[in-house]
Amino acid sequence: MAKVLVVTSGKGGVGKTTSSAALGAALAQTGQNVVVVDFDVGLRNLDLIMGAERRVVFDLVNVVQGDAKLAQALIRDKRVDTLSLLPASQTRDKDALTPEGVERVIDELREKFDWIICDSPAGIERGATLAMRHADMAIVVTNPEVSSVRDSDRIIGLLDSKTVKAESGETIEKHLLLTRYDPGRAARGEMLKVDDILEILAIPLIGIIPDSEDVLRASNVGCPVTLHDPSCAPARAYNDSARRLLGETIEIVTPSEKKTLMSRLFGRKVA
């Protein structure tokens, strides 16, 4: 049965779009039929991260408003043929999405795909609540930083109250994805530790993505990091997270600092 997964955070810039693209590609590579839906109407970026920006003809708003058929708006990835993208609109206003229209599109997507990954906009307004509305499960993307953790807490509250699942008395499955984690700074007590964040937010961890230059390198060329360089640390962490989503049990390893000779000598990371 199709799973609707929302990737959300409250705070902007923590890595929702990067994570949606990376997890979508990782799931698709296991043979699952995956669509990643950009809900950030007005500020679409998923197409750019996935390298499909020049292939957008119709978008989510066109489909919601009945101006285009779903099949016309879906863009199939050129690298992984089980991966598709439903882009957001760039120009229209945020009220272009209606709850009924979104429900219809999600129902239609459920028939075609195994995974529907909804890339939520930042904030707690309409776009974010519509992205989470029909979700079966949620990934809360959090940076080890106070404002991100606070906003994640708000989003968890919304997931537990404003989703269809919550309103019908069921619980929505929630997972924490910790991104931009810098093991060196955490070890030096400069950054919130994994256990601190888990204790505060009290939802299970699905993965820890280390802060890495590889993520920017992949986005520069419009390729999900899991496809760009599957052997780099963030790609491996995303791949493991995707397999955990599929129900596999893989131990979560907290990234550790690479010790160079200089850092061993001086006890600090040398840039």
Residue 92 or 193 with smaller CB distance to another protein:
193
At closest approach, how far in Å is the CB of 248 from another protein? Answer: 30
> How far is Cα 206 from Cα 95, in angstroms, rounded to an integer?
33
> How far is Cα 124 from Cα 157, in angstroms, rounded to an integer?
11
Residue 93 or 196 with smaller CB distance to another protein:
196
Using the structure block, give the residue that is written with the tokens 């994805």.
177
> How far is Cα 258 from Cα 228, in angstroms, rounded to an integer?
22
Rule CB under 8 A: say whether 76 interacts with another protein: no
Written as six digits, the tokens of 79 are: 């690298």
Written as six digits, the tokens of 152 are: 């994640």
Q: How many CB atoms lie within 10 A of CB 34?
A: 27
At closest approach, how far in Å is the CB of 251 from another protein? Answer: 24
Binders in 131-190 for another protein, by CB under 8 A? 145-146, 149-150, 153-154, 157, 161, 186, 188-190
Site string for another protein, 16-55 (x = CB under 8 A): ----------------------------------------
Residue 191 or 205 with smaller CB distance to another protein:
191
Residue 56 or 186 with smaller CB distance to another protein:
186
**98: Cβ contacts below 8 Å, ≥ 6 apart:** 64
> How far is Cα 112 from Cα 68, in angstroms, rounded to an integer?
17
Distances (CA, A) of 230 to 26, 208, 226: 9, 16, 5
Residue 71 or 270 with smaller CB distance to another protein:
270
User: Torsion over CA of 111, 113, 116 and 117, rounded to 10 degrees?
Assistant: -170
At closest approach, how far in Å is the CB of 136 from another protein? Answer: 22
At closest approach, how far in Å is the CB of 160 from another protein? Answer: 8
At closest approach, how far in Å is the CB of 126 from another protein? Answer: 18
Which uninterrupted H or E stretch holds 269? none
**111: Cβ contacts below 8 Å, ≥ 6 apart:** 2
At closest approach, how far in Å is the CB of 177 from another protein? Answer: 18
Residue 62 or 143 with smaller CB distance to another protein:
143
At closest approach, how far in Å is the CB of 250 from another protein? Answer: 27
Site string for another protein, 189-228 (x = CB under 8 A): xxxxx--x---x----------------------------
The number of residues that bind another protein (CB under 8 A) is 17
> How far is Cα 16 from Cα 10, in angstroms, rounded to an integer?
10
At closest approach, how far in Å is the CB of 266 from another protein? Answer: 14
Using the structure block, give the residue that is written with the tokens 């698709």.
28
Written as six digits, the tokens of 52 are: 């499909």
The residues binding another protein (CB under 8 A) are 145-146, 149-150, 153-154, 157, 161, 186, 188-193, 196, 200
